[in-house]
Amino acid sequence: MIKLAAIIDGKALAAEVEKESLARAKRLAEKGIVPGLATLLVGENPASQMYIRLKHSACSRAGIRSENVLLPESSTEEEIIAKIQELNQREDINGILLQLPLPGGLNPQRAMMSILPKKDVDGFHPLNMGSLLLGVERLVPCTPLGIIYALERLDIRLEGAEVVIVGHSNVVGKPLAAMMLNRNATVQVCHVFTRDLAEHTRDAEILVVAAGVPGLIRKEMVRPGAYVFDVGINRVGDRTVGDVEYEAVSEIAGAITPVPGGVGPLTVAMLLRQTLKAAEEQTGSSQ
């Protein structure tokens, strides 16, 4: 009988974070502080609208006040930046999140750089990214933070661990590599130009896949007993699937995240943590 991998239940872990976050929010409320998050959505992308709803629902459960600022799809970069600057000036807004992607033709880089670093709950501002590379983790990208949180909750020792990350985006791959290095893991980062991907992935005690390619990682590419984090969210027909062949890889991995229900809920949960951290630091109420 084949023993299947343990499921890394992102929903359950996220529920724990929400509970912890609500307790932190209540402590702030006792001091007359209500943490606030503003999301900025440009246009009417259905997937983005769904993600915004999920984030606001989580905020409601965690005692965080949230509001969504909606701009028309015809908005210019200057109009988006002007709205962000308005939010920067508001004392009741501790965190600002610009929902990506922006409508075609708009480069998000300038807009994201206009968010004050202390309110950059996505962790994408160059000041926050630079601090991360220097080993000072201030506000950091939520998906890598969620993966680190899960590993810590699973009591996985990162010092000296062989970590392979497939995908070198600014959102997941690069910041996660830095966070792993900050914890003294040995890290390989693979991407579309990597030759013989399987040669690298089979080294991984911890394998993180964020390539956006359905079924990229097959059973023979995974080290027995590895911890596998599938960040991919792909629509194939009427199904949502990851970058890992879940059923087959489950037969060899030690533990694996499902899609959906794995890394996604953790990402949203880390947004709560980041917003609370920003609120505590801005009001001098840090734990």
Assess contact for 279 and 37: CB atoms under 8 A.
no
Helices 263-282 and 46-61 meet at what angle, rounded to 10? 60
9: helix, strand or coil:
coil
- 99 is known as an active-site residue: yes
**3-state class percentages of the chain: helix first, strand second, coil last, to nearest 5:** 45, 15, 40
Q: Which one of the listed residues 99, 118, 243, 274 is annotated catalytic?
A: 99
Q: Which one of the listed residues 83, 118, 120, 122 is annotated catalytic?
A: 122
In the chain the beta strands, taken as DSSP E runs, fall at 6-7, 36-42, 65-71, 95-98, 162-166, 186-190, 206-209, 227-230, 234-236, 239-241, 255-256
Beta bridge partners of 97: 39
Sequence letter at residue 131: S
The CA-atom distances, in angstroms, between 171 and each of 60, 141, 219 are 25, 6, 26
- 26 is known as an active-site residue: no
CA distance 275 to 115: 14
CA distance 14 to 207: 21
CA atoms within 13 A on the CB side of 185: 25
CA distance 172 to 175: 6
User: Residues with catalytic annotation?
Assistant: 55, 99, 122
